[in-house]
A and B are shown apart, each in its own frame.
Chain A
Amino acid sequence: MARRIRSHDWASTVLGPVEAWSSELRFAAAFVLDTSFPTALVWGPNLVTIYNDAFRPILGNKPEALGRSFAEVWSEAWAEIGPIAERALAGHSTYIEEYPLLINRAGKAEQAFFTFSFSPVRAADGTVLGIIDTVIERTAAVRSRSKLRENEERFRAFVTASSDVVYRMSPDWSQMRQLDGRGFLADTESASEGWVDTYILPADRPTVFAAIERAIRGREMFQLEHRVRRVDGGVGWTLSRAVPMLTDDGRIVEWLGAASDISVRKRAEAALRESEERFAQFAASSSDGLWIRDAATSQMEYVSSAIQMIYGVAPETLLGDPERWAALIVPDDRDSALQHLEQARRGEAVVHEFRILRPSDGEQRWIRNTDFPLHDAQGHVQRVGGIAEDVTETKRLQERQGVLVAELQHRTRNLMAVVRSMADKTMARSTDISDFQARFSDRLAALSRVQGLLSRVDEWDRVTFDALIDSELAALDGEKDRITLRGPKGVALRSSTVQTFALALHELTTNALKYGALAQPQARLDIAWHLEHAQKDGRPWLHVDWRERGVRMPTMGVAPQGGGSGRELIERALPYQLGARTTYIMGEDGVHCTVSLPVSERQSLRERAGA
């Protein structure tokens, strides 16, 4: 600049050649050039401009100002600058901060701000010779400050309009400058370092700090859902966002944040999660299959794991197209099953049964489906829910129960008929009513015992001969040591023969007890039996030998005592009803009776299995 000043053609200016400059002008010009503060020297009544290097940026692209009138150089703003220059020339200095000027230094009008001072330069006699103009351009600073203010104003407006909590944080978040809690959080009205303790739960602090650090490092928005201590002392949830306020050079000035209360949503989310978890556990533990279809398309959306057991396919293979399910149903039942699903889609809850062919083992299974509509908030059927239960066993049991009930009815009525007939016969042989009562109740007891035996065995089991004889002899006390039993255990009797056989054994026992081997201390009873394996008709036979010994028999010619009913049973009923071969002899020392009858084939199987 000094060189340019030296080489400038000052001779053509009102200042004249440099050699001719007054000492004051030289002194002032040297001062201006020597200072590194942006400075211009405005000299003489014509306001000739001399400026230093630091002043150049202020001039921008204006035509060279050196040697020209300062009024001409700043003609666009001279209305403002002129009076200040006048004041300086009149001996008054001026200092103004951030003075707004509309200038043109880049080919267009521009709002600029300057902090400057105009100072008079005097001669030794005090007359003002020129002006020293020192100036700092403040345009950028003012602009960024006003932008910040604008932002802040907008933010305040937004905050007023919003129901959210708003807050301001120091650049590094160590300090909360302000927080307006909106009744959700406690207010922080003046800068505080303790905000973490006030608002953030200890367990959540690491997460919150990490998010803050990320935001600071990236100078980006802070955003986090976290728990907060509410103004009422409870714990709430907030969605908190804060944006950094940046200077032009990218420094963070402040964070402005807004935090909304999302406690209700979070509670709902937690409740939903819990409800879903509950449902999942429920569905997983249920032995019934649970499923959900889209009502509009019938597409399967959800199938629980129990479907695997029930349908014999992986649950996910039933998802989607309803045909995948329908294909498993036996053709005869398919239409009905689909119609029921259709009913549920129309809003009706239905229970229906159908058969499937289970692919895992090819078995036909009965399924009972409960289909029900699931409505949306408007009451439209949005989905169809269902419960699938394998009722194959139930069906079988029901069938079996039906058979059993019929069988029970049959047996009961038959038994009633037998009891009546037995009463008639007993009556015919009784001498009087008390005789009848004794005989009849005795026979009824025998009949009851055998019913007891029969009721304790199921269709796979049989009453065995030893059990039958044990049950009959169990009623005896002291006579037992005079009885010998010889024969194999486990000879199974055909169920249809048990009742009559038992009655016959009972009559034999009764007679022995009244008149025979069990009535006389010196007499004995031997019961022996053996099994003869399959004869020509294919059935095994049981041979029973009932022999009473040492009985003092009544005199020959006297009518046999008692014996009639037992004898009839053995000689007539057993052959008739059981296909038995029997003998009944009144021997010299007691009754000798043999009974041979076909027995169940089952016991031979059982014995084989046991052996």
Chain B
Amino acid sequence: MLERLLAGLSVLVIEDEYYLADELSNAVRAAGGAVLGPVPSIEAALDLLGHEANPDAAVLDVNLGGEMAYPVADALLSRGVPFLFTTGYDQAALPRRYATVPRMEKPVETSMLLRELRLLIDGSAQV
């Protein structure tokens, strides 16, 4: 059912927890998508965004190795890359400028995340 959901699309996975990054990457690939990364840190994410072509979407863990991933979120926003947050924090804990960014609370249901990614990509394409 999900096999072709992300066919031909690239997704940047930013998640510091190896298990979760691995799980997420596998899920993207299983849905026909290409994984950019995964990367575990702010530096690695910014580095990737600085050098490679824009991904179609991104999944961003709010907390990377104890640091808030806002620099990455801001870079994604400024480059128009649609993304969603995965987070263990409550909504209130995030700055207001990310109010429009969807967020999924951990533990994330993988199939829901894939559908959400697809909606994001479709939404940004229409604009």
Q: Which of B63, B66, B88, B107 has the most CB of A within 10 A?
A: B88
What residues on A are CB-neighbors of B90 within 8 Å? 406, 409
Contact size range, A: 20 to 34
Given the complex of chains A and B, what is the CA–CA distance between A350 and B88 in angstroms?
Answer: 38
How many angstroms between the C-alpha atoms of A281 and B7 in the bound complex?
80
Quick one: given A420-B107, A576-B40, are A406 and B17 in contact (CB under 8 Å)?
no
Q: Mark B88-100, 1 if CB is under 8 A from A, else 0.
A: 1110010000000
- Check if B19 sits within 8 Å of A422, measured CB to CB: yes
Complex CA distance for A546 and B108, rounded to whole angstroms: 35
**B88 pairs with A409, CB closer than 8 A:** yes
Contact status of A417 and B107, CB under 8 A, knowing A424-B23, A500-B18, A576-B40:
yes
Quick check: is A8 within 8 A (CB to CB) of the other chain?
Answer: no
Beta-carbon contact of B16 and A577 below 8 Å: yes
Is A375 an interface position by the 8 A CB rule? Answer: no
Task: Report B-chain residues with C-beta under 8 Å of the C-beta of A500.
Answer: 17-18
> Contact: A416 with B17, CB < 8 Å?
no
CB distance from B111 to the nearest CB of A (A): 13
Supposing A496-B16, A576-B18 touch, asked if A414 and B88 sit within 8 A by C-beta, the answer is yes
| Interface assignment of B65: CB less than 8 Å from any CB of chain A | yes
B74 at the interface (CB under 8 A from A): no
How many chain-B residues does the 8 Å CB contact rule pick out? 23
Could you tell me the distance in whole angstroms from the C-beta of B32 to the nearest C-beta in chain A?
Answer: 20
Instruction: Tell yes or no: A265 within 8 A of B by CB.
Output: no
A139 within 8 Å of B by Cβ? no
Q: Which residues does chain A contribute within 8 Å of B108, judged by CB atoms?
A: 417
Partner of A417, one of B20, B63, B65, B89: B20
B105 within 8 A of A: yes
- Knowing A418-B20, A496-B65, A496-B66, the reply to whether A577 touches B40 (Cβ < 8 A) is yes
Given the known A-B contacts A406-B89, A406-B90, are A413 and B106 also in contact in the complex, defined by CB atoms under 8 Å? Answer: yes
CA distance A48 to B110 in the complex (A): 157
* CB-nearest residue of chain B to A497: B65
Instruction: Write the chain A residue with the least CB distance to B65.
Output: A496
Whether A577 and B105, one on each chain, are in contact in the complex, defined by CB atoms closer than 8 angstroms, is no
Point out the residues of chain A lying under 8 angstroms from B21, CB to CB: 576
A500-B18, A576-B18 in contact; A413/B40 too (CB < 8 A)?
no
B18 touches A417 (CB 8 A): no
Within 8 A of A (CB), among B1-34: 16-23
A410–B18 contact, CB under 8 A? no
Quick check: is B54 within 8 A (CB to CB) of the other chain? no
Name the B residues within 8 Å of A569 (CB-CB).
18
- Beta-carbon contact of A414 and B106 below 8 Å: yes
Q: Nearest residue in A to B19 (C-beta to C-beta)?
A: A421
Task: Give the distance to chain A from B57, nearest Cβ to Cβ, in Å.
Answer: 20
The distance from the CB of B22 to the nearest CB of chain A, in whole angstroms, is: 7
Instruction: Choose one: B17, B22, B23, B93; the contact of A414 (CB below 8 Å).
Output: B17
Using CB atoms, name the residue of chain A closest to B63.
A410
Closest Cβ neighbor of A408 among chain B residues: B88
> Roughly how many angstroms separate A411 CA and B107 CA in the complex, as a whole number?
11
With A413-B88, A413-B105, A416-B106 known to touch, is A421 a contact of B20 (CB < 8 Å)? yes
Cβ-defined contact, B88 with A410, below 8 A:
yes
The answer to whether B18 touches A572, judged by C-beta atoms less than 8 angstroms apart, is yes
Tell me the chain B residues, 53-92 only, with Cβ under 8 Å from chain A: 62-63, 65-66, 87-90
Residues of A within 8 A of B105 (CB): 413
- Which of A412, A422, A494, A573 lies at the interface centre, i.e. has the most chain B CB atoms within 10 A of its CB? A573
A421 touching B89, Cβ below 8 Å: no
Question: Is the C-beta of A495 less than 8 angstroms from some C-beta in chain B?
Answer: yes
A425 in the interface, Cβ–Cβ < 8 Å?
Answer: yes
Q: Find out whether the CB atom of A411 lies under 8 angstroms from the CB atom of B18.
A: no
CA distance A391 to B66 in the complex (A): 29
Interchain CB contact under 8 A, A406 and B93: yes
Q: Which chain A residues border B89 with CB–CB below 8 Å?
A: 406, 409-410
A494 surroundings in chain B (CB, below 8 A): 66
Q: How far is the CB of A505 from chain B (nearest CB, A)?
A: 15
| Nearest CB in chain B to that of A416: its residue | B107
Contact A417 B66 (CB under 8 A): no
Return chain A residues, CB-CB under 8 Å to B23.
Answer: 421, 424
Closest to B93 in A: A406
Shortest A429–chain B CB gap in Å is 14
Supposing A417-B108, A576-B40 touch, asked if A412 and B18 sit within 8 A by C-beta, the answer is no
Minimal beta-carbon separation of B68 from chain A (angstroms): 10
Complex formed: what's the CA distance from A412 to B88 in Å? 7
A573 touches B18 (CB 8 A): yes
* Most B CB within 10 A of own CB, among A416, A421, A569: A421
Q: What residue of chain A has the Cβ atom nearest to residue B62's Cβ?
A: A410
A contact residues around B87 at 8 Å (CB): 410, 413
A406 to B107, CA, bound (A): 16
B93 contacts A417, CB within 8 Å?
Answer: no
Q: Complex: how many Å from CA A241 to CA B87?
A: 89
Q: How far is the CB of B116 from chain A (nearest CB, A)?
A: 16
From residue A300, how far is it (CB to closest CB) to chain B in Å? 41
Contact with B along A457-498 (1 / 0, CB 8 A): 000000000000000000000000000000000000011100
Q: Which of B98-118 contact A (CB under 8 A)?
A: 105-108
A410-B89, A496-B65, A576-B21 known; A417-B106 Cβ under 8 A: yes
- A411 touching B22 by the CB < 8 A rule? no
Complex CA gap A409/B107 in Å reads 12
A413-B88 Cα distance, complex, nearest whole Å: 5
Complex contacts, B16 vs chain A, CB 8 Å: 496, 577
Kindly list chain A residues whose C-beta atoms are within 8 Å of the C-beta of B38. Answer: 576
Cβ-closest chain B residue relative to A424: B23
Select B66's contact among A412, A424, A495, A577, beta carbons within 8 Å. A495
* Distance between B114 CB and nearest chain A CB, rounded to angstroms: 16
Beyond A494-B66, A496-B65, A577-B17, list 20 extra A-B contacts (CB 8 Å).
A406-B89, A406-B93, A410-B62, A412-B88, A413-B87, A413-B107, A414-B17, A414-B63, A417-B20, A417-B107, A418-B17, A418-B19, A420-B107, A421-B23, A424-B23, A425-B19, A500-B17, A573-B18, A576-B21, A577-B18
A sample of 16 inter-chain contacts (CB < 8 A) reads A406-B93, A410-B62, A413-B87, A417-B17, A417-B19, A417-B107, A417-B108, A418-B17, A418-B19, A494-B66, A496-B65, A576-B18, A576-B38, A576-B40, A577-B16, A577-B40
6 A-B pairs with the lowest CB-CB distances in the bound complex, closest first:
A413-B88, A410-B88, A573-B18, A417-B107, A421-B19, A413-B106
Interface residues of A (CB under 8 A from B): 406, 409-414, 416-422, 424-425, 494-496, 500, 569, 572-573, 576-577
Residues of chain B having any CB pair with chain A under 8 Å: 16-23, 38, 40, 62-63, 65-66, 87-90, 93, 105-108
